[in-house]
Amino acid sequence: MKIPMADKIVFNDSEEYHIGEEGLPCLITYAEKTGGSHFTVTLVTDLFLRGSKILFLTAYPMAKDDFLQQIQGSETKTAYVTNTDQLNTNAQAIILESGNEELFLNAIKQLDDVHNRVVLIKNIEVFSSAVFDTCESFQKVILSGNIDQCIAREQISEKKFKTIVMFTRPVTPLPVEPPTLEKYVGYLWSNGQKGLVTTRVEH
* Residue 2 pLDDT > 50: no
pLDDT digits 0-9 by tens, 64-102: 999 999 999 999 999 999 999 999 899 999 999 999 999
pLDDT at 202: 75
Model pTM? Answer: 0.96
Q: Which domains does the chain have, with CATH numbers?
A: 8-200 (3.40.50.300)
* Residue 122 pLDDT > 50: yes
pLDDT digits 0-9 by tens, 39-59: 999 999 999 999 999 999 999
* Residue 1 pLDDT > 70: no
pLDDT at 112: 95
Average pLDDT, stretch 4-22?
89
User: Judging by beta carbons within 10 Å of its beta carbon (0-12, 13-18, 19+), is residue 86 exposed, middle or buried?
Assistant: middle
pLDDT at 203: 61
Residue pair 18/82 in contact (Cβ under 8 Å)? The answer is: no
